[in-house]
Chains A and B, each alone.
Chain A
Amino acid sequence: MCDNLSSQLKQIIVETLNMEEISVEDIQDDTPLIDSGLGMDSIDALELVVRVEKEFNVKIKSSEEAKLALSSVRSLMDFINKHTPD
């Protein structure tokens, strides 16, 4: 489940960033998503949030949750696992 979710998220990230030079294999679970890591900017992050909310039926409600969830793939996975409806 975790590996599957991780791959799904990485695929979404690659599509969101629309960068040909980055592949799913290049992204580690602990790679920071924003700035120094994958270099996502606010609009990339916004697009990622919209896609994640739609595909996993979760809602990132506050800036504190966004800060936590968007720090890496692993933290995004943790957020989804914690907030996915049963």
Chain B
Amino acid sequence: MALEANKQHRNIGPTWGYRAVIFWSKILPLPIAKIVMMVSAFITMILLPKQSRYSKEYLNQVNIKPVIWSHVWRHYYSFIKYLVARFRSTGDSSTKLHWITEKGNLVEKHLLKGTPLLLGTFHVGHSDLMGFNIKIPHRKINMVRLKMENSAELQNIIETSVDSVSIIWVNDRNDLIIKLKDALLNQETIAMQCDRIEHSSKVESFQFLGEKREFPFTIYHLSIIFSRPVAFCIGIPIGDKSVKVLTTNLYYPDAETRTENLLAGKKHFQSVLSLLENILKENPYLWYNFIPLNPVSKDK
């Protein structure tokens, strides 16, 4: 059954802009591509006033004061550099990214041992690219995504260059239920982004950027239902060719009752969001959500 793509132009810009980035990232050498990226960031800033306003609001929250146009431009430029890195990292091997992980990284250890994990991440830095980097023999990773009008390109990249990764689209609820169930019962690893609340079944409030804000909490419910550990990974770009991967400790749903497990999950996710907040304070332009910040919770 073909899934209907979400028509909303969520986050940045129209589909043609996305396609243009793909086109010139394939044909131009990196130094020239960089100049085109800088100009594109400027044009994007002018053409998308609503997204620019959201960028300003976010940058203000993350403590850049006063926010001026050059900060917003840097925010767009950072995002466009990520888009280009995404296509280059899955293209020819000479442009692939170098991944720096800490020694004894718990997440890698568990994946190598074959432990199926629930991997959480955010629309931050090069986190999304890690799915392409995780190559564990005979171990499949499923990325849970919302299908948008421009998702065909991502699907194409994954199908043609990464055999161990597949996508579970959230657009069709019944399809999502069956695919998630089959993947989890087959001991496969699931990777999902846990910052945007639209289309998220379970939402909870957490302290983030000065307020109690709503975040998706679905990953912890899946963890409890299927007794799977949860870990978060965040990829921070270092220059043009390297990515530093930060991983959190693992959450295990091993308490006696569901209520206790949910409470432990909330504590874990709060520590993850505190880490994320610190990362963003040091690297403010890596937050790739050009939409309103997560809503402030009504019950404070």
Cβ contact within 8 Å between A49 and B181: yes
Q: Which residues of A contact B143 (CB under 8 A)?
A: none
Q: How far is the CA of A86 from the CA of B113 in the complex (A)?
A: 40
A46 CB within 8 Å of chain B = yes
B85, chain A: closest CB distance, angstroms: 32
From 40 to 73 in chain A, residues with beta carbon under 8 angstroms from any chain B beta carbon are: 41-47, 49-50, 60-67, 70
B173 CB within 8 Å of chain A = yes
Q: Which residues of A contact B177 (CB under 8 A)?
A: 42, 45-46, 49, 63, 66, 70
From the candidates A34, A41, A44, A63, name the one contacting B178 in the complex (CB within 8 A).
A63
Cβ contact within 8 Å between A66 and B178: yes
Q: Which residues of B contact A34 (CB under 8 A)?
A: 173
From the candidates B172, B202, B218, B221, name the one contacting A63 in the complex (CB within 8 A).
B172
Known: A43-B201, A46-B181. A66 touches B218 (CB 8 A): no
Q: Type the 1/0 row for A14-28, where 1 means its CB is closer than 8 Å to any CB of B.
A: 000010000000000
Q: How far is the CA of A44 from the CA of B177 in the complex (A)?
A: 10
From 215 to 233 in chain B, residues with beta carbon under 8 angstroms from any chain A beta carbon are: 218, 221-222, 225-226
Q: Which residues of A contact B176 (CB under 8 A)?
A: 42
Which chain A residue has the least Cβ–Cβ distance from B217?
Answer: A43
Q: How far is the CA of A60 from the CA of B180 in the complex (A)?
A: 12
| Count, chain B residues at interface, CB 8 A | 20
| Count, chain A residues at interface, CB 8 A | 20
Which chain A residue has the least Cβ–Cβ distance from B218?
Answer: A43
Known: A43-B221, A43-B222, A45-B173. A61 touches B178 (CB 8 A): yes
Q: How far is the CA of A43 from the CA of B172 in the complex (A)?
A: 13
Cβ contact within 8 Å between B175 and A63: yes
Interface core residue of A34, A42, A65 (most chain B CB under 10 Å): A42
Interface core residue of B185, B202, B225 (most chain A CB under 10 Å): B225
Q: How far is the CA of A41 from the CA of B226 in the complex (A)?
A: 17
Cβ contact within 8 Å between A46 and B225: yes
B1 CB within 8 Å of chain A = yes
B151, chain A: closest CB distance, angstroms: 18
B174 CB within 8 Å of chain A = yes
Q: Type the 1/0 row for B145-156, where 1 means its CB is closer than 8 Å to any CB of A.
A: 000000000000
30 contacts between A and B (CB under 8 A): A34-B173, A42-B170, A42-B173, A42-B177, A42-B201, A43-B201, A43-B221, A43-B222, A43-B225, A44-B201, A45-B173, A46-B177, A46-B181, A47-B221, A49-B177, A49-B178, A49-B181, A50-B181, A50-B226, A60-B178, A62-B178, A63-B1, A63-B172, A63-B178, A64-B1, A64-B174, A65-B178, A66-B174, A66-B177, A66-B178
Leading 9 A-B pairs by shortest Cβ distance: A63-B174, A41-B201, A63-B175, A66-B174, A43-B201, A67-B174, A42-B201, A46-B177, A43-B221
Show the binding face of B for A, using Cβ within 8 Å.
1, 170, 172-178, 180-181, 185, 201-202, 218, 221-222, 225-226, 258
